[in-house]
Structure formats: structure tokens, C-alpha cells
A = this chain, B = another copy of it.
Amino acid sequence: MATIKDVAERAGLSTTLVSRYLNQRSGVSPSSKERIRNAIKELNYRPNGIARSLVLQKTQSIGIVLDNLCAPFAARLISGLEQGAEDFDKENKYNVMFCSSNGDAEKKRRHINFLTQGRVDGIIIYGSLTSDDTLISELAQSTFPFLLIENDVEGIPVDKVVIDNVDGAFRATEHLIKQGHKRIAHMAGNMNLKITLERMNGYIRALQDYQIPISSDLIIHPSFDSMELAVKDDRYLRGDRSYYSAGYREMKKLIDGGNLPDAIFFATDISAFGAMQALEEAGLSVPDDISIVGFDDEDPRDYGATNHKITTMRQPLYDLGYIGIKRLIQKVNNPERPEERIVLKTDLIVRDSCKSKK
């Protein structure tokens, strides 16, 4: 591969001049320009961005690492990220690069390590790492600019943008309460996840606020299988179905138990979809026999479910990305700014799965 030196030699000029030409700086005479242009063409020269970045201490790029590029929610998140990068810095455009770990924690680690070794100017990490994520705190010690989305790690000052899960769950439950429901159950998510705790918290607070007694019978803790195969008919089904099966199983138990609650707030739509299948099979109707509110605004079709129109709390994924990358770029350009924790609210999307109780 030809280098800037080769070009300079060929053009009979100094590398300084060639560099100036390449970066369209002033101080290059027209005749020199011409000679450099020719030399470049003759040698098929392509500048080495790596070397350039080394001296400039800047790559003009941003890395994003997430678990699953093809996940149902990813599209909206990605759009937000791309658009944010576009809108923020119109002249010095940032190149946004995505790395997908496909649920492999080790791979995610590797990606983060790779990118944070100066390969990009900053990174955004979506979602949590394994429980013992010393990597985040190590990163926080260094000065490398990074930002977390949907990973509300505690104890370390870190830039992050997160969802207000407590508020979302509160409002979801409140929605049910305001429709006159009293026996409101909650089907929790994976208890290893912080968001599960937060959502349960919101549920409990809503009941407390409206002076509805909290019954532990009505709080359901499904057990989750490990991630279920997301491939069907060689067509990639975008979502992990383990929550679906869990919802199905628990709903079945509930139906068999005989004492159905008025309403259920699900920590995630996916479990709700599974539950709805169980209800359907039992000849029960949503919302006539039971009201349901979910969370996440998932697309039932991504989980092979029938097209339920479920009332749900929707995460502002686009905004998560948009705001996140804006903040990161600010950080890149002004490392002194103190860390921020940005909280976004969820939206209540009212569909057909709830009904007022007479």
C-alpha cells in the first residue's frame, strides 16, 4: 500500500504538502495540487485513517454495542441513534458503528474492550452486562467517553439514559385501578433484573396510593427457561420466547386455580401474549373476563402470537437513542461535563385489553 511518503516522493514534494492537500488546507499552490493529484491517482493511494487518528487523537466515529441488532425493539433504537448523530454535528459527521453480541456476554465484553481502546471516540452500551460488570467501573475510572442506555448501574457516576420503570408500572396499575378493578395481580419478570424489581415496586406503590391491600398471592413469579430458540421455519423470529412460555404456564395455573383476578399487570408484554394464549384456549375473553396491561409495547407477531391489541406502557426507544447519542457527542467534545442520569418516561398506549369493571 502506498503511503503519503510515496505520494510526496512521486510528486517531488514534501509529505507536509501532501498532508495539507489531503486535508484541504490552504498553502498549496495550484501546480503542487495538480502534481499531488496525479501522484495519488498513479499510486492508487488511500490515506491511512488509523495513522491519522493516532496523531489527531480522534476517530470521528461512535460505537454502539447491544445484545441483538435484530431484536424487535432495535429498529427504533437504531433510528434514534442514527438520527441523533446526524442532527447533532452537521459538519463533522460521526460514523456510527454497531456491534451485536447476540446474548453472548463474553462477546459483548470483547466488543466493548475493542472499541474503547481508542477505536472510536465514544461508545454507547445498550442493556446490562453480566452481574459482575467490573468492566463498567473500570471504564468509569478511565477517561474514555461512554454512555449507558437502559442500564442503571449504581454507585458509579456514569452517563446514562434510562426509563422510569417505577413510574411506568405505577401508571399501568393506576390505569387498571381507575377502571374499578380491585383484585389486580402482577406477573413479574426475571427477578435477576433490576427493572423487574422497579416495575414491581411501581405496582405496589400504586396499590398503596389507592389503598388497595397488597396480597402476595397476586404477585406471580414465573420461572424462566433459558433463552428459547428464536428460529422458526428458517425465518428468524425476532424475539426470545422464554417470557412467552412463562406467561402461558402461569396463566394456565391461575385458570386452573379457579380464582381469577380482575386484572393483571404484566412486567412485559411477552408474558402477556403467552397468558392470552392460555386464556383463549380456556375460552376466556380479554377484556371481558379479565383486563390486562403490559409493558414494553412489543409486537405480538414477533413472538409468533396472534395479533393481540394490548394496552401497554411503551418505551420511548427512539428518544433513548436520540438523546443518548447527543449526550455522548457532547461528552466527547467536552469531557469535563459531569455525568448525568437522564430519565425518560414511558407512554401509556391504550388498546383493547382493558375494560371498566361494573
Contact = CB atoms under 8 A, between A and B. Distances in A.
Interface of A: 1, 44, 46-54, 59-61, 63, 69-70, 74-76, 78-79, 82, 93, 95-100, 102, 110-111, 114, 116-119, 138, 141-144, 234-236, 238, 297, 299, 301, 318
A1 B144 CA distance: 8
A70 B61 contact: no
The SS class assigned to the A binding surface is mixed
A269 to B, nearest CB: 13
Oligomeric state, in copies: 2
B82 A102 contact: yes
B117 A47 contact: yes
B110 A99 contact: no
A78 B100 contact: yes
Contacts of A69: 69, 74, 78, 98
A75 to B, nearest CB: 4
Contacts of A48: 54, 117-118
A37 B118 CA distance: 21
B44 A75 contact: no
Contacts of A75: 70, 236, 238
Contacts of A318: 234
A110 B51 CA distance: 18
Contact of A142 (B1, B76, B78, B99): B1
Contact of A99 (B76, B95, B117, B144): B95
Given A69-B98, A79-B70, A99-B97, A51 B49 contact: no
B110 A93 contact: yes
A54 to B, nearest CB: 5
A114 B97 CA distance: 11
23 contacts: A1-B142, A1-B143, A44-B138, A46-B116, A46-B118, A47-B117, A48-B54, A48-B117, A48-B118, A49-B114, A49-B119, A50-B117, A50-B118, A51-B54, A61-B119, A70-B74, A76-B235, A78-B100, A79-B236, A82-B100, A93-B110, A97-B99, A235-B299
Most buried by B among A46, A96, A235, A297: A46
A37 to B, nearest CB: 14
Nearest to A297: B235
A159 B271 CA distance: 46
Q: 9 shortest A-B CB distances, which residue pairs?
A: A49-B117, A70-B75, A50-B118, A97-B97, A75-B236, A98-B98, A44-B141, A48-B118, A95-B114
Contacts of A110: 93, 95
Contacts of A93: 110
A163 B82 CA distance: 30
A36 B51 CA distance: 27
Contacts of A76: 235-236
